[in-house]
Amino acid sequence: MQAVSLGFYLAYRQLKRSSKWTTTLIVFVMTLTFLNLVVISGILVGLIQGASDAVKSQYMGDLFISTLNDKKYIENTPAVVETIQNLPWTEALSTRYNGSITLEANYKNKVKPTDKGDSVSTVVTGIDPQDEDAVTNLGSMIIEGEYLNPDDYDKILVGSLLLRRYFDFDSAGFSTLKNAEVGDRVRVTIGSTQREVTIKGIIKTKTDEVSRKVFFVDSQLRGLIGREDNNGTEIAVTLKPGTDPKIAKEALAKAGITELAKVQTFEDAEPKFVKDLKNTFSLLGNIIGSIGLAVASITIFIVIFINAITRRKFIGILKGIGIRSNVIEYAYVIQSIFYAAIGTIIGMLIVFFILKPFFVAHPINFPFSDGILVATPLGTTIRAGLLFLATLIAGYIPAKIVVRQNTLDAILGR
Amino acid sequence: MSEYIIKADKIVKKYKSGDGELVVLKELDLYVRPGEFLAITGRSGSGKSTLLYQLGLLDHPNSGDIVIDGVDTHELTTNERTDFRLKELGYVFQDYALLPELNSLENVALPLLMQGLSKRDAEAGAVVALNKVGLGDKLYNLPSQLSGGQQQRVSIARAIGHKPKIIFADEPTANLDSETSDTVIKSFLELHGEGQTIVMVSHEPEYARLADRVLTLSDGKITGDITNKHNHKK
**Out of A167-176, A366-375, B134-143, least confident range:** A167-176
**Yes or no, beta carbons of A324 and B111 under 8 Å apart:** no
Residue A110 has pLDDT above 70, yes or no: no
Residues in chain A: 414
Question: What local confidence, expressed as pLDDT, does residue B104 receive?
Answer: 95
Q: What's the rounded mean pLDDT across residues A341-348?
A: 93
Question: What local confidence, expressed as pLDDT, does residue B231 receive?
Answer: 59
A173-191 pLDDT tens trace? 678 888 888 999 999 999 8
Question: What local confidence, expressed as pLDDT, does residue B229 receive?
Answer: 67
Spatial distance between the Cα atoms of A34 and B175, rounded to a whole number of angstroms:
48
- Window 112-131 of B: residues touching A by CB (8 A cutoff) are 113-114, 116
CB-based contact, A19 to chain B, within 8 Å: no
What CATH number belongs to B32-61+71-231? 3.40.50.300
Q: What's the rounded mean pLDDT across residues A82-101?
A: 94
Question: What local confidence, expressed as pLDDT, does residue B98 receive?
Answer: 92
pTM of the model: 0.72
| Residue B21, beta-bridge partner list | B16
CA B12 to chain centre: 20
Question: What local confidence, expressed as pLDDT, does residue A327 receive?
Answer: 92
**Yes or no, beta carbons of A411 and B93 under 8 Å apart:** yes
**Terminal Cα distance for chain A, rounded:** 33
Q: Cα distance from A30 to chain B (closest Cα, Å)?
A: 24
Question: What local confidence, expressed as pLDDT, does residue A198 receive?
Answer: 94
Which among A17, A408, A411 has CB closest to B101? A17
Residue A35 has pLDDT above 50, yes or no: yes
Question: What local confidence, expressed as pLDDT, does residue B234 receive?
Answer: 43
**Out of A107-121, B67-81, B148-162, least confident range:** A107-121
Residues on chain B touching A321 (C-beta within 8 angstroms) = 85-86, 91, 110-111, 158
Spatial distance between the Cα atoms of B24 and A293, rounded to a whole number of angstroms:
50
**Yes or no, beta carbons of B91 and A9 under 8 Å apart:** no
Spatial distance between the Cα atoms of A108 and A121, rounded to a whole number of angstroms:
18
CB-based contact, A298 to chain B, within 8 Å: no
Residues on chain A touching B82 (C-beta within 8 angstroms) = 319, 322-325
Residue A43 has pLDDT above 70, yes or no: yes
CB-based contact, A204 to chain B, within 8 Å: no
Q: In which band, very low, low, confident or very high, does the pLDDT at A116 lie, cut at 50, 70 and 90?
A: low
Residue type at A36? N
CB-based contact, A4 to chain B, within 8 Å: no
Spatial distance between the Cα atoms of A269 and B187, rounded to a whole number of angstroms:
88
Q: Cα distance from A370 to chain B (closest Cα, Å)?
A: 52
Query: Per-domain residue ranges for chain A?
Result: 2-55+274-412, 68-260
Q: What's the rounded mean pLDDT across residues A71-85?
A: 92
Residues on chain B touching A325 (C-beta within 8 angstroms) = 82
A390 versus A413: which is more confidently predicted?
A390
CB-based contact, A411 to chain B, within 8 Å: yes
Spatial distance between the Cα atoms of A207 and A55, rounded to a whole number of angstroms:
6
**Yes or no, beta carbons of B87 and A322 under 8 Å apart:** yes
Residues on chain B touching A14 (C-beta within 8 angstroms) = 101
Question: What local confidence, expressed as pLDDT, does residue A94 receive?
Answer: 96
Q: What's the rounded mean pLDDT across residues A228-238?
A: 91
CB-based contact, A12 to chain B, within 8 Å: no
Question: What local confidence, expressed as pLDDT, does residue A368 receive?
Answer: 73
Question: What local confidence, expressed as pLDDT, does residue A111 receive?
Answer: 65
Residues on chain A touching B114 (C-beta within 8 angstroms) = 6, 322-324, 327
Quote the mean pLDDT of chain B.
89
Question: What local confidence, expressed as pLDDT, does residue A114 receive?
Answer: 67
Residue A162 has pLDDT above 70, yes or no: yes
**CB-CB contact of A101 with A190 (8 Å):** yes
Q: What's the rounded mean pLDDT across residues A153-178?
A: 84
**Yes or no, beta carbons of A411 and B106 under 8 Å apart:** no
CA A66 to chain centre: 25
Residue of A nearest to B90 (CA): A321
Where is mean pLDDT largest: A17-26, A143-152, A186-195?
A143-152
**Out of A60-74, A385-399, B63-77, least confident range:** A385-399
For testing contact with chain A, the best of B81, B110, B201 (most A CBs within 10 A): B110
Q: Which residues of B88-121 are buried (b: 16+ CB within 10 A; e: fewer)?
A: bbbbbbbbbbbbebbbbbbbbbbbbbbbebeeee
For testing contact with chain B, the best of A10, A17, A321 (most B CBs within 10 A): A321
Q: What's the rounded mean pLDDT across residues A303-323?
A: 86
Query: Per-domain residue ranges for chain B?
Result: 32-61+71-231
Residue A350 has pLDDT above 80, yes or no: yes
Asked casually if ipTM beats, i.e. exceeds, 0.85, the reply is yes
Q: In which band, very low, low, confident or very high, does the pLDDT at A144 lie, cut at 50, 70 and 90?
A: very high
Question: What local confidence, expressed as pLDDT, does residue B6 receive?
Answer: 93
Quote the mean pLDDT of chain A.
88
Q: What's the rounded mean pLDDT across residues A24-52?
A: 86
A4-16 pLDDT tens trace? 999 999 999 988 8
Q: What's the rounded mean pLDDT across residues A127-144?
A: 94
Spatial distance between the Cα atoms of B171 and A232, rounded to a whole number of angstroms:
100
